[in-house]
Amino acid sequence: MTEQDKRVTDTIRSLQERAKELNCLYRIEEITNTEELALEDVFRNVIEAIPAGWQYPEVCVARIRYNSTEFVLDGFRDTEWIQKANMHALGELVGSIEVAYLNQMPKADDGPFLKEERKLLQTIAERIGSCITHRRLHDAMKELRNTAPQRGMREWSAILDLLRRTDQSLLMRVSRKMINHLCWSGVKDARELLQDFRPLPDADERDVFFDSNRPRGRALPPSATELADRVFELAAAHLSDDEVISCVHNWIKQDRASFLVNALENHHTAISEVSDAIQRYQHAGHGEVELSPSTRKGMLVSLVRRFLSDQLEYVNVAKNYVEIRDFHQLIQKLIYPARGHGKTGGKGAGLFLAYQIMRKHCHDNPLLAEIKTPKTWYLTSDGMHDFVYCNHLEDVFSQKYKEIDEVRQEYPDIVQVFKNSQFSAAIVKGLSLALDDLGDKPLIVRSSSLLEDRFGAAFSGKYKSLFLANRGTKQERLDALMDAIAEVYASTFAPDPIQYRSERNLLDFQEGMGVLIQEVVGTKIGDYFLPAFAGVAFSHNEFRWSPRIKREDGLLRLVPGLGTRAVDRLGDDFPILVSPGQPGLRANTTPEEVARYAPRFMDVINLETNKFETVDVADFLRSVGDIVPAVEQLVSILREGQLRQAMAGSIDFERDDLIVTFEGLLTRTPFVKQIHTILTLLEAEIQHPADIEFASDGKDLYLLQCRAQAPTKHAKPAPIPRDIPHARLIFSANRYVSNGTVPNITHIVYVDPEQYGRLGSRDELLAVGRAVGKLNKLLPKRQFILMGPGRWGSRGDIKLGVPVTYSDINNTALLIEIARKTGDYTPDVSFGTHFFQDLIEAEIRYLPLYPDEDEVTFNETFFTHSPNLLAELAPEFEFLSETIRVIDVPRAAEDQVLYVLMNADLDEAVAVLIDPTEQADHGDDSERTITTTDGQNWRWRARMAESIAARLDPTRFGVKALYIFGSTKNATAGAASDIDLLVHFIGNEKQRRDLEQWFEGWSLSLSEINYLRTGYRTDSLLDVHIVTDDDIAKQTSYAAKIGAVTDAARELLLGNGGVATK
């Protein structure tokens, strides 16, 4: 056996021993807390329970001596291997407890006994002692109750008498409380009494407040008995017997928890001490009912602030839902550095609270009772500092003040350094315990930043969360876990969060990163480990697909496998959308739509390769579908164009066309109701819309995360200005408005509803669709909006809306449907149903307009009288100029651009013309900073384009002119934009090849520089389009940009004296 193996075996053995001891202790607790048991029976039960807690139970026996009686286990005899502990009750020695081995056993710390066993015996003795005390007091009280009334004696005086004899310091504390109580009750004599015991040179009470700088003289404390006698004499005179007895009773009880209060009130106590105090409190069998409500609340608030969060909103809610025993459970799963003071972090606190809230309500709602949370261990936020200091990495804290490109460049090295650093012994020990508890199920290591609970979901996804397959030997698993935690720690210093914090002025906030180590919910299927389904849900639905869905009906994004694909927008794959308040109304209804927008891929953990993978759902089901738990709830069968709910056992995984619809789950299980209940409950309790993550192993539903729903970057409620001058307001809306700002609109494509309705032939209607498709490709991406009648994407009856497909509109920033009244009738709008999910995933906004309703503005003149660019942009569609109007906003409105501000809270939206230079007034702080960063992006690109032009030798490469167009020219380039260049080329084949090569070099270097600046990786930054004289003559494709009517390419000055010809 190697040294390492031996160490591992030893560790395991010692852990097994600890478990035995704990079990033994729990058993003793149980016995001593059973009030019905007579003391003799308690002793008998205890000696029976003891051997199991010792290393060699088969030869272990025990004896208790109490007063003169002896309680022994059969076969007890005095041997030379014996341990003894004395028992005390009410301050006096009352007996002893002994443990003996009958035979000689291998030598350990203390003869054959372990040092932990010595401690255990001591604890048992203390516990029995306090049990005896409790019984004696109890008996004394009973006796008093029986006898006192007859003898006319006061029952409480007997208690005092008892205290006088047993615990003078407690007597003292009780007496002091009684004086205070009497004073507060307005007993004048009590104040005098108080002053007697606190004689001040000037007995003017105001001095206490007004002259606190002067040290006060302090009287010698009176003896406890003397004080007590005088106080209770007074009490007897002013208070009823009942009141005195109940006060004394409560104070004595509360006093027993004072050690915990003290530990909590002192901010310097380390977690370990608080933890000990909580354990002692729990073990000592204090039911919390014994505490006065105020003491209890105070303690709970301290605990919440200590372990979870000191954010006031959080504390306010949490204090009503937690109990001291919850913290007792929490600390069992808490990993912290020696002398640590940290917290669980935002995610940890959120999940903990949500779970407590659900637990408290599960009686009124059985649906909640079935919801679980995965086993979770918490590494406190100061674990990271411990790690950093332990490895002398302090310099890393100043990383955030460096230039962002430096941060980016150094980040990979930081990750490596972190991964090669050590954790402190306390943490390693904690992690090892956690692994034993969690077993070999795959784990997720989640960052739980202190910033997260402060700023809500805005921080979500900025820090890392890592999946671990958690396979191999204990040491391998521990190494992998530490590696993952180090990586999560390192992610604090990643460029993205640093940039994000810098933009929001949060750089100086001290990093504190808690870590959640959570078992992954799921089952093993083949080589993979995955949940049957997972997802996210929100109390507020910001993307409603039907007017029947209210914002409060919520939104559920559901995927098969790990929930990662539901959290992020994917662009090329779709989660199933359900509104929990209206589960019957689906975004997709026809079988074709359902199949088109079904999830096609899923994320899983590959247990063989220890990797996180994305797999094709169809392939997965074909190979292992038959062992997926509850698969019939997840898929429907598409056959002959019809979708049928799958039935257990009736699926042919080889041949059936299976579509993930979750139809069974949604219609035949209480799942949607459960989610709706959780969301409604959490929203009501945290007084804020909630945002949860969940997963299911096919059997149970698990809550993984809970936080306040924060608007995403693109869907914040925009402030609606109230003082917009009439001339600048283009339209307003007050129905079905979602949240968001659509900024910097330079072009509007307006399909006039009235003119569209008058088009005489189907061909003309179809031509409108084609024209829109063409404009979609010509106009600057995400800087134009499409406005049109009724239902965009109408098929069949295309009179109702422009017949377009998603590809015809995919570059717009906003899709507007106009419902004009005809007679008394206002037509329906489609809510973008024909491509609803495409719009959501691409974050294209949607807004319906009802121009003929009261209290809205619709500046029709602006749309119908602004110059129309259609004929110039797309001459082949000139005949539709009455119907389609393309408006260049800055040209039509004195260089202003259009902002559409949407606010779902108010259910209002406005489109306003804004001078680009004053745009900052209409976004919040963060938006403003983002705009400036983006500004840097295009300025840098424009500069680079100019220097490329300056270095380009026109004669060498046969170049006549070089143009720039697109986002760089329009000053809208972002970090991921490319630089669009247009080359007017007049050279030969070789020159063309050389030119392409020359650009290629530039492109690669620029994309590297761009990566360092922004973190966006692109294969090449230059998008070069070469056009010839012929192209220009024919105006084919990009050549049309030269001298175009709107958004024309701008010519750049060529180098080497090659002045471009105009």
Query: Which residues are at the interface with other proteins (CB under 8 A)?
Result: 545-548, 572, 582-587, 589-591, 595-596, 638-644, 657, 757-766, 790-791, 795-797, 799-800, 806-807, 810, 827-828, 830-831, 833, 876, 879, 882
Residue 852 CB, nearest approach to other proteins (Å): 17
Q: Which is nearer to other proteins, 672 or 695 (CB)?
A: 672
Q: Which is nearer to other proteins, 509 or 806 (CB)?
A: 806
Give the closest residue to 733 by CA, choosing from 907, 504, 867, 510.
Answer: 907
CA distance 119 to 360: 37
Cα dihedral across residues 414, 415, 417, 421: positive or negative:
positive
Helix (H) or strand (E) holding 302: helix 293-307
Residue 580 CB, nearest approach to other proteins (Å): 13
Residue 414 CB, nearest approach to other proteins (Å): 36
Give the closest residue to 349 by CA, choosing from 309, 298, 299, 306.
Answer: 309
Q: Which is nearer to other proteins, 833 or 970 (CB)?
A: 833
Q: Which is nearer to other proteins, 790 or 923 (CB)?
A: 790
Q: Which is nearer to other proteins, 264 or 880 (CB)?
A: 880
Structural tokens at position 477:
């698993």
Residue 626 CB, nearest approach to other proteins (Å): 21
Q: Which is nearer to other proteins, 576 or 765 (CB)?
A: 765
Q: Which is nearer to other proteins, 149 or 584 (CB)?
A: 584
Residue 849 CB, nearest approach to other proteins (Å): 17
Q: How many CA atoms lie within 13 A of 155 on its CB side?
A: 24
Task: Please tell me what DSSP assigns to residue 1052.
Answer: E
Structural tokens at position 967:
């986002």
Cα dihedral across residues 189, 193, 194, 195: positive or negative:
positive
Residue 763 CB, nearest approach to other proteins (Å): 6
CA distance 1058 to 594: 58
DSSP string of 705-752, one letter each residue? EEEE----TT-PPPP--S---GGGEEEEE-SS---EEEEEE-EEEEE-
Give the closest residue to 1048 by CA, choosing from 1035, 1061, 1029.
Answer: 1035
Q: Which is nearer to other proteins, 332 or 590 (CB)?
A: 590
Residue 269 CB, nearest approach to other proteins (Å): 56
Ramachandran assignment for 229, one of left (phi > 0), alpha (psi -120 to 50 degrees), beta (any other) = alpha
Q: Which is nearer to other proteins, 14 or 807 (CB)?
A: 807
Residue 573 CB, nearest approach to other proteins (Å): 10
Q: Which is nearer to other proteins, 128 or 759 (CB)?
A: 759
CB 442 within 8 A of CB 607: yes
Residue 828 CB, nearest approach to other proteins (Å): 5
Give residue for tokens 């016995």: 31
Residue 585 CB, nearest approach to other proteins (Å): 6
Residue 640 CB, nearest approach to other proteins (Å): 6
Residue 800 CB, nearest approach to other proteins (Å): 5
Residue 875 CB, nearest approach to other proteins (Å): 13
CB 382 within 8 A of CB 515: no
Q: Which is nearer to other proteins, 256 or 774 (CB)?
A: 774
Q: Which is nearer to other proteins, 617 or 910 (CB)?
A: 617
CB-based contacts of 206: which residues, under 8 Å, 6+ apart? none
Give the closest residue to 691 by CA, choosing from 830, 858, 554, 870.
Answer: 554
Q: Which is nearer to other proteins, 155 or 573 (CB)?
A: 573
Residue 764 CB, nearest approach to other proteins (Å): 7
297: how many CB neighbours lie within 10 A of its CB? 13
CA distance 372 to 368: 9
Identify the bridge partners of residue 445 per DSSP, sorted by sequence position.
Answer: 466, 517
CB 783 within 8 A of CB 814: no
Q: Which is nearer to other proteins, 259 or 806 (CB)?
A: 806
CB 606 within 8 A of CB 613: yes
Residue 793 CB, nearest approach to other proteins (Å): 12
44: how many CB neighbours lie within 10 A of its CB? 17
CA distance 902 to 734: 10
Q: Which is nearer to other proteins, 585 or 1060 (CB)?
A: 585
Give the closest residue to 347 by CA, choosing from 495, 459, 427, 485.
Answer: 459
Residues 543, 556, 377: CA angle, nearest 5 degrees: 130
CB 798 within 8 A of CB 760: no
CA distance 560 to 438: 24
CB 162 within 8 A of CB 141: no
DSSP string of 161-208, one letter each residue? HHHHHH-HHHHHHHHHHHHHHHHHTT-HHHHHHHHHHS--SS--THHH
